[in-house]
């Protein structure tokens, strides 16, 4: 089972699928906190990134949206002066949003809609939304439209994660994250069952705050992973103090977590406390794979009660990603 966000999670899944082969069932719990209503369409970026990446429709260059994409509709909307002009709505991608929006309006839950869309893309994994309820990540920032009076603190405003991420490139310092709708959200169909019955849990190199972190916020999911019978191995999204892609550092700063492989291991926490032996550590990790450039951190991470190894973590091609997936399995003694 893999709780995944966008690009990092999707790319790891390609390597994992190559290692375990067609007979294995990979269940992906997809982050839906990035989801947004745009021009009346429901857009689910992290679900679509997994679906397109594993269905071979992804734009490799962008890491999101479709290959061979055009943005004519986006440009026409901008010509009308319709906001949000900052959102990159692709023409091919719009077909996915139109179908999803129609099915949601017809009353189908997001899980059923996602399954229907995957009928076309055949990603080769079971893609389950973390929840069928709407949960949206918002970011509390200093209001960019207001200049504070001298000596006055800036007014704060919550903006949608996508506006912070795309329009402001996460350059507006984030004070905190708010998960709108979280209070009445429950795990989507099949999510807890997948955690309880799977043979291995891999925490992929997705954004630990707004992707994996959001999934763990859904009541019941984190608890299920802590108690899961399967081993849990994570892969660091931070190499030598920087995210490989994206802006996870801006997110980690907002929650006072160091942008280091060790910082995130500590943030996720050990599943088993060192003392008393085997007691719950309250965390989710049995093991943590870090990059060779961070090898000096292995002893510190092992001292947390988390088994650790350092291997090359750059997913620059399928073979290297497959090696990473194998190394993660080896670290917890799992053979597919
Ligand atoms: N990311 C951008 O940086 N710019 C965009 O214009 C953009 C549009 C977009 C449209 C559909 C979609 O599924 C994803 C899109 N993304 C875009 C990526 C999106 O912001 C993701 O949520 C992040 O990459 C984090 O996972």
- Per domain, the residue ranges of the chain are 36-129, 136-180, 191-331
Question: Cis link prior to 269 (omega < 30° from 0)?
Answer: no
Tell which phi-psi region holds residue 95, choosing left (phi > 0), alpha (psi between -120 and 50) or beta. Answer: alpha
The pLDDT assigned to 190 comes to 98
Determine the topology of domain 191-331 in CATH. Rossmann fold (3.40.50)
Give, using CA atoms, the residue closest to atom 1 of ligand 1. Answer: 166
Instruction: Please give the Cα distance from 93 to 101 (Å, whole number).
Output: 13
Contact assessment for residue 181 and residue 160, using Cβ atoms and an 8 Å cutoff: no
Residues 6 or more apart whose Cβ sits within 8 Å of residue 103: 112, 113, 116
The pLDDT assigned to 49 comes to 98
The pLDDT assigned to 244 comes to 86
- Choosing among 1.10.8.240, 3.40.720.10, 3.20.20.140, 1.10.260.40, the CATH entry for 36-129 is 1.10.8.240
Distance 81 CA to ligand 1 centre (A): 21
Distance 169 CA to ligand 1 centre (A): 11
The pLDDT assigned to 34 comes to 97
Q: Which atom of ligand 1 is nearest to the CA of 45?
A: 13
Question: Cis link prior to 84 (omega < 30° from 0)?
Answer: yes
High-pLDDT (> 90) share of the chain, %? 90
Instruction: Please give the Cα distance from 176 to 173 (Å, whole number).
Output: 9
Distance 148 CA to ligand 1 centre (A): 31
Instruction: Please give the Cα distance from 1 to 84 (Å, whole number).
Output: 35
Helices (H), 132-211: 161-162, 191-197
**Closest C-alpha to 195, from 4, 6, 20, 27:** 27
Instruction: Please give the Cα distance from 27 to 30 (Å, whole number).
Output: 9
List, for residues 272-294, the tens digit of each pLDDT value. Answer: 877 777 777 789 999 999 999 99
Give, using CA atoms, the residue closest to atom 26 of ligand 1. Answer: 6
Which portions of the chain are predicted below pLDDT 70? none
Which of 166, 174, 250 maximizes ligand 1 atoms within 8 Å of its Cβ, making it the mutation to test the pocket? Answer: 166
Q: Which atom of ligand 1 is nearest to the CA of 90?
A: 10
The pLDDT assigned to 261 comes to 96
Number of residues assigned to the chain: 336
Q: Which atom of ligand 1 is nearest to the CA of 6?
A: 26
The pLDDT assigned to 54 comes to 97
Distance 127 CA to ligand 1 centre (A): 19
Distance 89 CA to ligand 1 centre (A): 9
């Amino acid at each position: 089972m893999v709780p995944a966000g966008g690009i990092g999670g999707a790319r790891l899944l390609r390597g994992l699928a190559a290692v375990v082969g067609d007979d294995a069932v990979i269940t992906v719990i997809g982050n839906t906190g990035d989801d947004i209503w745009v021009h009346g369409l429901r857009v689910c970026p992290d679900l679509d990134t997994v679906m397109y990446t594993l269905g071979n429709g992804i734009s490799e260059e962008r890491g999101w949206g479709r290959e061979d994409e055009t943005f004519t509709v986006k440009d026409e909307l901008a010509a009308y002066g319709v906001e949000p002009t900052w959102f990159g709505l692709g023409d091919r991608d719009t077909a996915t949003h139109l179908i999803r929006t129609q099915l949601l309006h017809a009353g189908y839950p997001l899980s059923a809609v996602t399954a229907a869309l995957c009928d076309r893309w055949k990603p080769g994994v079971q893609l389950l939304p973390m929840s069928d309820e709407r949960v949206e990540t918002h970011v509390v920032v200093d209001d960019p439209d207001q200049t504070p009076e001298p000596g006055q603190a800036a007014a704060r405003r919550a903006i949608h994660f996508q506006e912070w991420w795309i329009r402001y490139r996460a350059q507006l310092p984030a004070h905190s994250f708010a998960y709108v709708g979280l209070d009445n959200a429950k795990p989507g169909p099949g999510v807890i069952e997948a955690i309880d019955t799977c043979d291995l849990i891999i925490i992929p190199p997705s954004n630990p705050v707004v992707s994996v972190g959001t999934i763990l916020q859904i009541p019941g999911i984190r608890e299920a992973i802590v108690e899961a019978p399967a081993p849990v191995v994570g892969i660091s999204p931070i190499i030598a103090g920087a995210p490989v892609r994206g802006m996870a550092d801006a997110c980690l700063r907002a929650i006072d977590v160091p942008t280091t492989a060790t910082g995130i291991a500590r943030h996720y926490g050990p599943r088993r406390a060192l003392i008393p032996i085997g007691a719950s550590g309250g965390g989710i990790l049995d093991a943590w794979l870090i990059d060779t450039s961070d090898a000096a951190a292995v002893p510190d991470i092992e001292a947390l009660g988390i088994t650790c190894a350092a291997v090359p973590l750059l997913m620059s091609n399928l073979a290297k990603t497959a090696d990473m997936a194998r190394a993660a399995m080896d670290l917890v003694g799992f053979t597919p």
